[in-house]
Structure 1
C-alpha cells in the first residue's frame, strides 16, 4: 500500500488541499465577471471564425481558462506577472549592478526581484489590456468594446475598463500567492492556469460531440492526445547525467575514497516560458501598429495594417515566426538561467570536478556546450507544440472545432507539468509528515 492512502488523514495536508480548492473555485467564479460594454456578438464571431486569427484568439482563450471568450476582468490571467518576471530575469545578467546585487546577497536579491515583479506587472497588465481590446477589434472588423477610446467622452469609460482588467490581473496574482503560502507550496500561479485549462475541457468536448462526424473527430483527438502526452512526458523527464567526482571526507585519521556522483541537465530546462514570452514579443509590434492604423499618411496606415496582419495572427507567416521565436528564445532563456546558477564555480568551491575537465570556468564552458546540444530537441519540441494547432488545421479541416486541438498542445504541456510537480510536492509533504512507504508498518 502507498503512503498516499493517508493523504486525507493528515490534518495539515488536508487543510492545505481544502484551501487550495477553495481559492481555485473563487478564481473560477471571478472569471465569469465580464468587462462592461463588450460586443458579445463580434467576440463570438471572432472565436467561431477560424483561420489564423481565430486560432490565436483560441490559444489566448485556452491559456486564460475561457476568460477571453467571456472577456471578463480576468481575461489576461496572470501572464502580465509572468512576462514581468521574465523581463527582470533577463535584465540581471545584462546590468552589472543587478548581477552584483544577486550574487552578494541572494536572499535580499530575491526579495528585490519579487517586489519589482509586482510593480512591473501593473503597467504590463494595463498595456496588455489596451492591446487585447485593439487587436481583437482589428480581427473582428468591428470594435469589441464600442465605447473604448481616448478621445471625447470615451476617455473615462476606457480608463475604467483598463483599471478593472488590471485589477483583475492583480487579484489573480494575489490568489496565486495565497495558494503558494497557505495551500500547495510554490504552485499557486501554475494551479490557476491549470484550473483554467481543465475547466475548458467539458465545453470543448460538448462542442465536439455536437459537431459533424463526432465519432471520427473524437477518435482522432484521443489518439493525438495520447501521442502528445507520451512525447511531453519523455521530453520533460529527459535529462543528461554528467559524471562528477566529489572529494573524499576525512573521518578521524582516515580519508574516505572520492565519491562518484552526477549532475543532471534537463532537456527542457526552460519549461513553458519560451512560448509565453515569444507570444508577448510577437504581440508587441501589433500593439504599436494599432495606434497608426488610422493615420492620414497612406503608407504609414498601410504599413500598420500589414504589421497587424502579420504579427496579430491573420497571416500564415505568424506561425513560422512564432516557431523560430520559440526555438531561439528556448536557447537564450536556458543560457541565461544556467549562467545564473554558475555550476562551474559552485563545483569548484565544493572541491568537485568533472573527469577530464579543469575546475572553474572550463567546467562552466563544458557544461554550457553539453546543455546547448541537449537543448536542441527540447527547443524543437516547444516550437512544434506552439504551431501544432495551425499544422493540424491544415491537414484536417475542422472549421470552428479547431480550437479543441489546443488542449493537446500548449495546454497539455502545462497540464502535464503541473500534475507532475503537484505529485512530487504532495509526496514530499507526506514524507515530511512521516507518511513514508518505507517506514509504514503493514
Structure 2
C-alpha cells in the first residue's frame, strides 16, 4: 500500500492532483477557525467550555462543519446547505416533471440542475445563517451560557454576519467543485470527510482522557475497527442481475450478443437515511430551545428526544432509518425506467420477459435487498451509540455510526479513483 502511495506521488499529473486536493482541504480547515465579524471569540470559547461540550444538539449539528458551527466561524454552516439543496432537487424530480426531463437530457440537463442546486444552496445558507444569528442573539444557542457572544447587535452588524456566513457557504461550494474538476475524488464528499475526520481525535481524547480511561479507549477503538470492517464488507457487496443483449444488424455490422449485469448494492441509499433520520429527530429539540424551559412538554423532549441515549430516541431513530432507506431507494432507482432502457437496446434478463415483467422482477429484487440494507444501516448507526452508553462516557455520544459510514465510504471511493489512475499508467494499485 505504501509503495502505491510512492508511485502515486512519483506520477507528475497525479501528484499535482493529490497536492491540489490536500491544499484545498487545508484551506477549508483554516476557514473553520476564522471568526465571523461581530462575534466575540473569547466569549464563544468560554460558552463552549461551559455548555457546548455537553450540548447534544449543537454537537450533532456541528458534525458536518468540523466544529466550525460551535466556533461561529466564517464556515459555520459547512457543507450542509449544499447537501440539503442537492437532496431537495433530487426529490423534486419526482414532483416536477421538468426536473425529470432535465435529468434525462444528459450533460446539458445535469448542468442546469447543478445551477438550480447552487441557487437553492445560497437561499438555504441565508435562511440558516439568519436562524443561527437570531438564536445566538436570543441567548439560546449555548445552553446555560450567560456571556454576550454578539457585543454589538445592531442591524448592520447582524447583516454583515449573515452575508459573511452565506459567502462562506458559497466559497465552500466552489472549493468542492474545484476538487472535483482538478483534484482527486468528489469534492463535496471529501470536504464532509475532512469535517468529520477533524472531530475524531477530540472525540477519542474525550474518552481516553475524560470520561473513560485507557481501558474504555481500547474498547472504543476495537468497536470502531469492527464497524469499519462491517461497513467495508457490506459497501463492497452487490447483487448482480445478469442481462443478455440480443444480436442485431445495423447496416453491415452486427451489434449485441454480449452478456453483462446490473450491479445492485445492498445499501443503495448510502448515508442519506441516517442524515434524514437524525435531522428530523433534532427538530423537536430545536423547537424546545425557544420554549419555556420549565414547561412540562419541554422537559419531556429534553428527557426523551434530546439525549442520544434515551430509549425513545433510539427506537424512533431506527424506525426513521428503515423508512427513509426504502423511501430514498424507491426515488433513486426506478425499475420501470431501467426495464424500458433495457428493452429499447434489446436487453433482457434470462428467464424474464422484457417490459413490465422485467420491471416487476427488478422491484421484487430491490425490495428484498433493501430490507437487509436498511437493517444494516440501523445496526451501523446504533453500534457505537449503544457501546458508548454501556461504557458510560457521558450523555453526549462522541460520534455515531453515520460518521464512520461517511468516512469509510468516501475513503473507499477516493482510493478507487486513485487506483484507476494508477492502473491507467500500468502501475499496481492499492488492492491486490
Bin of the TM-score, shorter chain as denominator length: 0.7 to 0.9
With 421-430 and 92-101 compared, the bigger mean Cα shift is at 92-101
With 331-340 and 381-390 compared, the bigger mean Cα shift is at 381-390
Look up the match of 2:143: 140
* Cα distance in 2, alignment partners of residues 328 and 361 from structure 1: 26
Residues 394 and 356 of structure 1: is their aligned pair in 2 closer, same or farther, counting only changes over 3 Å? same
Query: Are residue 351 (structure 1) and residue 351 (structure 2) matched?
Result: no
Look up the match of 2:365: 370
Look up the match of 2:51: 46
Matches within 5 A, 1:392-407: 392-399=387-394, 402-403=397-398, 406=399
Task: Report the Cα offset of residue 55 of structure 1.
Answer: 3.6
Q: Structure 2 length as normaliser, TM-score?
A: 0.85
Task: Report the Cα offset of residue 161 of structure 1.
Answer: 2.6
Aligned length: 420
Equivalent position SS for 2:348: coil
* Cα distance in 1, alignment partners of residues 335 and 303 from structure 2: 38
Q: Structure 1 length as normaliser, TM-score?
A: 0.83
Look up the match of 2:29: 28
CA contact (8 A) 2:245 2:259 kept: yes
Higher normalized contact order (CA 8 Å, seq sep 6+, divided by chain length)? 1
With 348-357 and 223-232 compared, the bigger mean Cα shift is at 348-357
Residues 174 and 254 of structure 1: is their aligned pair in 2 closer, same or farther, counting only changes over 3 Å? closer
Could you list the per-position Cα deviations for residues 256-298 of structure 1 after superposition, in whole angstroms to 9, with x for gaps in the alignment?
Answer: 994443211101111122222333334445556666x379xx9
* Cα distance in 2, alignment partners of residues 217 and 401 from structure 1: 16
Task: Report the Cα offset of residue 67 of structure 1.
Answer: 1.8
Task: Report the Cα offset of residue 184 of structure 1.
Answer: 1.2
* Cα distance in 1, alignment partners of residues 260 and 245 from structure 2: 7
CA contact (8 A) 1:229 1:412 kept: yes
CA contact (8 A) 2:64 2:79 kept: no
* Cα distance in 2, alignment partners of residues 95 and 143 from structure 1: 47
Matches within 5 A, 1:56-205: 56-103=57-104, 105-132=105-132, 134=135, 137=140, 140-142=143-145, 146-147=149-150, 154-185=154-185, 187-205=186-204
Query: Are residue 339 (structure 1) and residue 331 (structure 2) matched?
Result: no
Measured on the aligned residues, the alpha-carbon RMSD in Å equals: 3.5
Gaps spanning 5+ residues in structure 2: where?
none
Could you list the per-position Cα deviations for residues 309-360 of structure 1 after superposition, in whole angstroms to 9, with x for gaps in the alignment?
Answer: 7665589334433332222111111111102892111111221111222212
* Cα distance in 2, alignment partners of residues 255 and 109 from structure 1: 32
Look up the match of 2:403: 411
